[in-house]
Amino acid sequence: MKLAIIQKRKNFFILSGFFVIVSLLSLIAWGLKMGVDFTGGSLMELQFAQRPTVEAIQTSFKEFNLGEITVQPSDENNYLIRFKDIDEETHQKIVTKLKNDFKSTTTDTAESTENTPEQPAIEVIDDSGNKLNNISFSATTSDGTKVEGKNDVKKADVTELRFDSIGPSIGQELRQKSFYAFTYAIIAIILFVAWAFRFVSKPVQSWKYGVVAVVALVHDILITIGVFVFLGHYYGIEINTPFIAAILTVFGYSVNDTIIVFDRVRENLRRYHEDFEKTVNDSVNETFVRSINTSATALFVLLAVYFFGGETVKNFVLALIVGIAVGTYSSIFIASPLLVTWHKLTERLSKNG
Amino acid sequence: MKKKIIQAITRPLNILGGLVKKLIKPVLAPAQRGKVRRSAIIVVLIVLTASAFSYPKYFNQGIDWVNKRHNWNIPQIASKDFYLGLDLQGGTHLVYEADVTNIASEDRDNAVEGVRDVIEQRVNFFGVTEPLVQTNKSGGKYKIIVELAGVKDVNEAINMIGQTPILEFKEEAKPVELTEEQKAESKKHNESQKKKGEEVLQKLKRGGDFKQFVASYSEDETSKNNGGDLGLVGSNSPFPIFYDKAKVSEKGIVPELITDSEGLNIISIGDKIPVAGNATEVKARHLLICWKDAVRCEKENTKEEAKAKIDELKKQATPENFEQLAKDNSTEPGADSSGGDLGWFQKGQMVPEFEQAVFGMAKGTVSDVVETAFGYHLILKEDEKPLYEYPIARILLKTQPETTIAPTEQWQTTGLSGKQLERAQVVFDPNTNQPQISVTFDEEGKDLFAKLTESNVNKQIAIFLDKRIISAPKVNEPIKTGTAVISGSFDIAEAKELAQRLNSGALPVPVKLLSQQTIGATLGQDSLSKSFKAGLVGFILVMIFMVLFYRLPGLVAVISLLSYVVLMMVIFKYSPLHLTLTLFGIAGFIFSMGIAVDANVLIFERLKEELKSGKPLTSAIEEGFNRAWLSIRDGNTSTLITCFIMFMFGTSTIKGFAITLSIGILVSLFSAIMITRVLLKLITPWFGKYKWLFLDKQ
């Protein structure tokens, strides 16, 4: 059984062309939703015993004049809150205010509710401490006498899980770094593929393998980015530093996949001197199962991380999943067919010329 | 340039591949089964050792068991934990910008290093396991990156780190002579205290609760809140003045102001309590006749003469004439006026022979002759009474010293600080070639330093950075030029460090917090357990897939993958590189498990092809491996290149991921080529008959 992949290449070109164009257009129209890593700003993740309404959070933040505040539910009881970058002092004020505003009203010991009516609970910002069942805390009344009470609340009502505050200059620097990283990665990969195929010159020159591998790569990256443009536009998913890592990994993986198919082409060209198109189609067929299986195992583990690995790595892993799936597709259905198309084009041109 | 990088990456891979081939080829030639077995044993040993190290608990239990049975002493494997990144144990990542605008450009590097050093010192206060403080210069801007894993109070850490370092020169503190004005003032204060004390005494006489007076008048912070109680005051208590008073006073309030070092006291004495063991004190006088060699004797007579004299006196002595006899005869200096009176004393105050005699005899009698190191004694025991302790409470009214104040701290401020220090640098003594630190002050500092050194010759001047002493050189001579060298037995590194610290206070480099990323410990723990679960699920999925799809080789691949996980764990735990496990690093590790089977898949696909083309099993395996190698090498190189770029450009999150992924790729190559290959070679002949174990259809 042999699949006529090369012969039906036009269909794949049209399909991929459509997705690439849609991705490009949406990228231009909507752009990626950049996280605080890139734009500068603050991101606070809070865990509540009982999640209050978004409006309640907004009200709590009002007095700090932070401009626009976006509150987004996450996990079961968490909120992700984004606002402009602030200094540590303001941060502490916000934390104290939040702990105060969303303090529990149910305590087990009756006397402690009597003794501490609406006293601000001064707690050390110690996230692990909040897991303890018996946090003994002291509150200070207005006349300075200490009121001691046992707080038997099972769980602290607000826990600050994470706080990032990133100045605009850092974001700027990160954007610049990412740009350089992409540029260098693309150059390095073209050079590497050209080098790896340096002994193959007939009927297609080695550098063309490099260029085609990179075209396939750009295809993979654009579609992956396109997916995140959509996710950002419709679901508010932001890209951050790990997204860059994911994209760079897709760089490596996609080229890896393409190279393995090209490698087989290279080998078969040396062994049989048949028609280029047929050789390429044979090679793609021979490596088909391997390509599918390899990305299958990679996708299995990635899906496991996506579903069980927790919120923090979710989007990072999603980018990898999309990139690897598209990368596998392109190494089979785009890269090798492009090689043939290019070959035919040059043949026709040289005949005509 | 780029090509060089590529070569730098591919060349080791080529070499690795070549090496692996060389190692394997001779042992895998079909005729040499023995060698296959041998390499299989080596592989199994490597993996077993790795497993023992990666999770030593059960292995150590085994060792215990063996040790117990045979009375051997095999050492255990020290269990080691992973280095967890701050996203897993909670912590904070801070980026500061150092403001170097006021510093000459050639001094900037050093100044920022100095700040880094200061921050590192401050950070060490937080008891963080491995704090990281780095400087980073990019685009003419200096950044200081601080990572504190597991820090509890991020807020306090930020507050402490952000302070600009303060450098101070201090001299040994001296008692301060009061000015006339101050003297007058303390005198006035003391008089008013005295007046107040007398008033309180008057009020107390009229009656009232002493405790209440304590609460309203006492200035003794420690006893004020428990009714002025000082506890039981005995002969050894820190209040000898009160004890002496208590012995001669009635129970109750002593009707006078008692002066001690703290001020004026009104004391109230409670019911006296006999000292444990019914100890007593004794009032006695003695008559001493010494001889030439006795302690503190100024007489020239012999011991025999002394003995004769004392024996004669003993015959005369009665309690009535004892005082006069002592006055006339005792050789003790001053006895002619004191009559040998010793006053009251208790056990432990006299030499043992004397003590034994005096406490053993009856009251109102004269002792036999007693010999001590001082000479021969006759003792008249005049009185004996039990010892008591007294519960005493007090009201303290503090008074002020009227002439000088004793220093409370060892060092006192001099007004000379980092502001007046122009620079510090390492120089070398032209004679001994020893490194020294030269310090230069500005005009103001020159005068201050001259005065300071003049008044402190042969004394130390302490240099404080951030309120901690960093050096205390001794002043050899007055220095009036404004330049000095600090010499000592420094090595170059120490001298450089001290110079840097001095400069960090001299060239104030304010730091500004640009960004903070803080992760709570709960989130970290949560991430860790979730990642573990994800890894397990991923591993099981891959395992099922490989066995279903590739059958026996698939099973071998699973064993190889398991070995891969174990090897990775060992590398992470024991590598001298201190690899840190981060959340994204773990993601990279799990992902690399997926990629690790890739090499196996490539090999098995080739194996199937070779089998289909009718080759016998053993040579098919060999061919499969050989042909797959090129693809494996080229394919993985591209991933390694991108890892390298991530490492060059990435933040710590990305770096963690890139490092794990690249180590993962290298180890997976080893596990695919060494472990899978050797194991497959080993077991193939056992199952050669059953081709269905290798291929789904003929």
Query: Which of A199, A247, A256 has the most B C-beta neighbours within 10 Å, making it the best mutation to test the interface with B?
Result: A256
Residues counted in chain A: 353
Q: Helix, strand, coil shares of chain A as percentages rounded to 5?
A: 60, 10, 25
Which residues in chain A have their CB less than 8 angstroms from residue B522's CB? 47, 127-128, 130-131, 159, 161
Q: Measured between CB atoms, which of B518, B549, B591 is closest to A302?
A: B591
| Mean local confidence (pLDDT), B419-446 | 84
Do residues B88 and B517 lie in contact, with contact meaning Cβ atoms separated by under 8 Å?
no
Do residues B213 and B395 lie in contact, with contact meaning Cβ atoms separated by under 8 Å?
yes
Which residues in chain A have their CB less than 8 angstroms from residue B593's CB? 301
Kindly give, in sequence order, each residue whose CB lies less than 8 Å from that of residue B228, ignoring residues fewer than 6 positions away: B210, B211, B214, B218, B220, B268, B393, B394, B395, B396
Which residues in chain B have their CB less than 8 angstroms from residue A206's CB? none
Give per-residue pLDDT as tens, B551-583. Answer: 888 898 899 999 999 998 888 888 777 788 888
Q: Do A189 and B638 touch (CB under 8 A)?
A: yes
* DSSP H helical ranges for B455-508: 492-506
Residue-level pLDDT at A318: 95
CA distance A342 to B183: 103
**Among the listed ranges A115-124, A204-213, A247-256, which one has the minimum average pLDDT value?**
A115-124
Give per-residue pLDDT as tens, B108-155. Answer: 887 788 788 778 877 776 667 677 888 888 777 888 888 888 777 778
Q: Do B661 and A294 touch (CB under 8 A)?
A: no
| Mean local confidence (pLDDT), B7-26 | 63
Residue-level pLDDT at B60: 82
Token pair 């008089």: residue: B191
Q: Do A188 and B5 touch (CB under 8 A)?
A: yes
CA distance A114 to chain B (A): 28
- Looking at residue B457, the DSSP 8-state letter turns out to be B
Contact map slice: A 145-164 vs B, CB within 8 A: 159-164
Element (H, E) at A97: helix A88-101
Q: Do A162 and B597 touch (CB under 8 A)?
A: no
Q: How confident is the model at residue A148 (pLDDT cuts 50, 70, 90)?
A: very low
| Mean local confidence (pLDDT), A136-150 | 34
Q: Give the dihedral of Cα atoms B8, B13, B14, B20; nearest 10 deg.
A: 150
pLDDT at residue B677 above 80? yes
Give per-residue pLDDT as tens, B265-276. Answer: 888 888 888 887
**Helix-then-strand count for chain A, H and E:** 11, 6
Q: Measured between CB atoms, which of A169, A252, A297 is closest to B643?
A: A252
Give per-residue pLDDT as tens, A15-58. Answer: 999 999 999 999 999 999 888 888 888 889 888 888 888 888 88
Residue-level pLDDT at B534: 92
CA distance B546 to B352: 93
Q: Do A293 and B651 touch (CB under 8 A)?
A: no
Do residues A77 and A50 lie in contact, with contact meaning Cβ atoms separated by under 8 Å?
yes
pLDDT at residue A137 above 70? no
Give per-residue pLDDT as tens, A276-320. Answer: 888 899 999 988 988 898 889 999 999 999 999 888 889 999 999
Residue-level pLDDT at A126: 32
CA distance A296 to A324: 10
E-strand stretches of B540-633: 580-581
Q: Measured between CB atoms, which of A242, A267, A301 is closest to B594?
A: A301
CA distance B172 to chain A (A): 38
Q: How confident is the model at residue B24 (pLDDT cuts 50, 70, 90)?
A: low
Query: Which of B144, B583, B631 has the most A C-beta neighbours within 10 Å, making it the best mutation to test the interface with A?
Result: B631
CA distance A19 to A219: 9
Do residues B170 and B464 lie in contact, with contact meaning Cβ atoms separated by under 8 Å?
yes
CA distance B179 to chain A (A): 39
CA distance B691 to B484: 88
Q: How confident is the model at residue A130 (pLDDT cuts 50, 70, 90)?
A: very low
Do residues B193 and B262 lie in contact, with contact meaning Cβ atoms separated by under 8 Å?
no
Q: Residue B75 burial by CB count (10 A; 0-12/13-18/19+): exposed, middle or buried?
A: exposed
Give per-residue pLDDT as tens, A164-201. Answer: 888 888 888 888 888 888 899 888 888 888 888 777 66
**Helix-then-strand count for chain B, H and E:** 21, 25
Residue-level pLDDT at B692: 67
Q: Give the dihedral of Cα atoms B320, B322, B327, B329; nearest 10 deg.
A: 140
* DSSP H helical ranges for A236-335: 241-271, 276-308, 314-330
Residue-level pLDDT at A145: 38
What is the token pair recorded at B512?
């500004």
| Mean local confidence (pLDDT), B224-231 | 82
CA distance A149 to A86: 34
Token pair 């993958």: residue: B561
What is the token pair recorded at B149?
């894993």
If you average pLDDT over every residue of chain B, what do you get? 82
With H, G, I as helix, E, B as strand and everything else as coil, classify residue A64: coil
Residue-level pLDDT at B236: 75
pLDDT at residue A115 above 50? no
- pTM to 2 decimal places: 0.65
Q: How confident is the model at residue A1 (pLDDT cuts 50, 70, 90)?
A: low
| Mean local confidence (pLDDT), B39-62 | 82
Residue-level pLDDT at A325: 95
A176 touches chain B (CB under 8 A): no
In chain B, the percentage of residues whose pLDDT exceeds 90 is 3
The one-letter code for the residue type at A206 is S
Residue-level pLDDT at A149: 39
Q: How confident is the model at residue B634 (pLDDT cuts 50, 70, 90)?
A: confident
pLDDT at residue A136 above 50? no
Comparing B511 with B12, the larger pLDDT belongs to B511
Q: Do A290 and B602 touch (CB under 8 A)?
A: yes
